[in-house]
Amino acid sequence: MQTGYEIAKEHYQKTLDEIFRYSGTSHERVMSGPQGAEIVVDGKPALNFSTNDYLGMCNNEKVKEGAAEAMKTHGFGVGSVRLMSGTQDLHKQLEKELATFLGTEDCILFSSCFDANGAVFDVLLSDKDAILSDELNHASLIDGIRLCKAKRLRYKHLDMKDLERALIEAKGCQVKLIATDSVFSMDGDVAPLPEIVALARKYGAMVLIDESHATGVLGKHGKGAIEHFNLMGQIDIITSTLGKALGGGTGGLICSTKLLVTLLRAKGRPYVFSNAIAPPIIGGTLAALKNIQEHPECVQKVQANTAYFRKKMLEVTGFKLAGNPDSAICPAILKDEKLALDVAERLLDHGIHVMPVRYPVVPKGLARIRITITAAHSFEHLDKFIAAFKTVTEGKLDAIKAAPVPAK
Ligand code: PLP
């Protein structure tokens, strides 16, 4: 007789085969040594264009010292959730400093931004309420929204007319919450926050933004899209990650009013029922945050690198990268899945590490290589990427541009 697993296995194998047949197989490349602009991946030295370590903090000496010192003084782990015996003075210090940095009354930490986004909607919204969500929001926002009972209204990506349509549809709901990535992780688009805030005011809605790819990257001091758009103090709820520009460790945050943060501490399930962040991560993040504030030039460097890269890529290759000009996420949309895989593999032969992103992560026919620019890149690194991209896509770019964009 077949076991339960043997019965189920065929189904799982078919699902996996379907994904691989469509998108081609690829493997997770293995890095030996630390994160950075120059890495060793699958045993080969390469320039790294596939990291969200936007400020080059992952292997920063001060960040590592901060982590080591915290481990020495506060131990390796806490072995507890925050509400039992998991809260150390370091957690409180980081929450306070993040709230000050982002200009909000309070801050609450989670094990990841995925958890922060998983917690927030269920706590704040009931079946009397409505959530208005950009259709291309990050998976963690989508999953968090699935966990709450509010009416779900999706609006077309960045489409303010459609958001207004959804706000009108939400009339009569008690609480209305607009939720959007500020910088979209696969497309590099930036949400039009001033318009979103204006619509929120007009229709009595709150606004939540996920700043995971904006914190440390946008704004003169790296405070994110809120600073870039001069909206400090005007966004009701900010979620972000500690796993990218803020040291690249792990962890997530929600910055908001005291009232909402206190409610999240009481009812946010991933906060109440999951372990506190380990002391070395907190110590390293505190050092990264200090570093950003003492050296805002690292923020200016990622911004200057992004501008240089986008401009030069167009000049040299004639290929326009997707996304907002201010976004350090610079996708090269190649459309065809196998081509994206092939280009990424050939780039590695030229000493460039960049990964193809294909279905099911992005829609079919919109495969891309997702290029990220960091403060750790030099102009020479950027020029090397552009030269390699030109070589490996020689003779292919016109066909890529002419290929139709799939209907939604
Ligand atoms: N939100 C966005 C927009 C992201 O891109 C990511 C991670 O890629 C997350 C949330 C999740 O962040 P974390 O890695 O802290 O769970």
Per-residue pLDDT of 269-291, as tens digits, reads: 999 999 999 999 999 999 999 99
Q: Which atom of ligand 1 is nearest to the CA of 185?
A: 5
The model's pLDDT over 224-256, given as tens digits with 9 standing for 90+, comes to 999 999 999 999 999 999 999 999 999 999 999
Distance CA 44, CA 118 (A): 38
Residues with CB under 6 A from ligand 1: 112-114, 117, 138, 140, 181, 185, 210, 212-213, 241, 243, 252
Q: Are 147 and 139 in contact (CB under 8 A)?
A: no
- The predicted model scores a pTM of 0.96
The DSSP H or E segment spanning 367 is strand 367-372
Indicate if the pLDDT at residue 216 is higher than 70: yes
Q: Which atom of ligand 1 is nearest to the CA of 137?
A: 3
DSSP-derived 3-state class of residue 350? coil
The model's pLDDT over 363-401, given as tens digits with 9 standing for 90+, comes to 989 999 999 999 999 999 999 999 999 999 998 888 787
Candidates 212, 237, 254: which one to mutate for ligand 1, based on the most atoms within 8 Å of Cβ?
Answer: 212
Q: Which atom of ligand 1 is nearest to the CA of 251?
A: 15
Interval between CA 10 and ligand 1 midpoint (Å): 32
The model's pLDDT over 132-154, given as tens digits with 9 standing for 90+, comes to 999 999 999 999 999 999 999 99
Q: Tell me the catalytic residues.
A: 185, 213, 244
Place of tokens 């590695």: 348
User: Per the structure block, which two tokens stand in for 129?
Assistant: 């309420």
The model's pLDDT over 170-195, given as tens digits with 9 standing for 90+, comes to 999 999 999 999 999 999 999 999 99
Interval between CA 213 and ligand 1 midpoint (Å): 8
User: Measuring CA to CA, which residue among 353, 358, 343 is closest to residue 389?
Assistant: 343
Q: Are 365 and 335 in contact (CB under 8 A)?
A: yes
Distance CA 339, CA 341 (A): 5
Task: Tell me whether strands 352-353 and 38-41 are parallel, antiparallel or unpaired.
Answer: unpaired
User: Measuring CA to CA, which residue among 112, 101, 86 is closest to residue 288?
Assistant: 101
Interval between CA 114 and ligand 1 midpoint (Å): 6
Distance CA 126, CA 264 (A): 14
Interval between CA 102 and ligand 1 midpoint (Å): 18
Q: CA dihedral in degrees (267, 272, 274, 276; nearest 10)?
A: 120
Residue identifier of the C-alpha nearest atom 4 of ligand 1: 212
